[in-house]
């Protein structure tokens, strides 16, 4: 597994996916943005992001060095289907919210990252970028003499190190919460204590 990240695929072109794309292109990384429709429907978004971004299919996004997933929970299974996930690093930025009402989806006693992991067999899953509001995630990571905090968790130490490097490259600072079980519960919305918590780590 390479640790050199040149291209990030994004599955899900909603507010969080677009905010992440903005940060990635700002850092000089290439982005492949995908949604549940034809890539041509993303033309206005791609034009606004600039030359480092292009639209693609879910499969093309999933072939990137790292794959960022932020999809409406009710559509998650379909979004991740029919893709070879073996060995890929997947950033889980999803929240198990059912709309309307912002109700917690039925997860069978697990957290949402554990559920997602079953949908991406063979992938190396890291939970990150799900606790910041889209407007905050899209904003300047450096503020008040420090850097905005992004929480991460997972069971693969090397994958967490690579994602932590990406977080740093974007200008954020990562805080490792530990395992998928522990960190995933802390990060989960609704239910966990960390969603919407906006922290700045001072230099």
pLDDT at 187: 97
Q: Say how far apart CA 197 and CA 203 lie, in whole Å.
A: 19
CA–CA gap between residue 33 and residue 62 (Å, rounded): 10
Read off the pTM.
0.96
pLDDT per residue as tens digits for the range 54-69: 999 999 999 999 999 9
For 117-173, write each residue's pLDDT tens digit.
999 999 999 999 999 999 999 999 999 999 999 999 999 999 999 999 999 999 999
Give the domain ranges of the chain.
7-193
Q: Does domain 7-193 have CATH number 3.90.550.10?
A: no
């Amino acid at each position: 597994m390479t640790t050199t990240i040149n291209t990030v695929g994004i599955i899900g072109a909603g507010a969080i996916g677009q905010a992440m794309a903005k940060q990635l292109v700002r850092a000089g990384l290439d982005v492949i943005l995908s949604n549940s429709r034809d890539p041509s429907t993303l033309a206005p978004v791609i034009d606004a992001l600039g030359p480092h971004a292009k639209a693609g299919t879910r499969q093309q996004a999933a072939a990137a060095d790292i794959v960022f997933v932020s999809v409406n929970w009710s559509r998650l299974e379909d979004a991740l289907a029919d893709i070879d996930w073996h060995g890929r690093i997947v950033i889980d930025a999803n929240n198990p919210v059912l709309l309307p009402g912002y109700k917690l989806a039925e997860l069978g006693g697990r957290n949402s990252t554990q559920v997602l992991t079953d949908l991406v067999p063979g992938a190396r899953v890291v939970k990150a970028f799900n606790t910041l509001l889209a407007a905050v995630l899209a904003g300047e990571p450096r503020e008040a003499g420090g850097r905005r905090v992004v929480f991460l968790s997972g069971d693969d130490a090397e994958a967490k190190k690579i994602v932590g490097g990406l977080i740093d490259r974007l200008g954020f600072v990562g805080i490792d919460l530990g395992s998928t079980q522990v960190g995933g519960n802390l990060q989960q919305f609704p239910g966990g204590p960390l969603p919407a918590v906006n922290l700045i780590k001072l230099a």
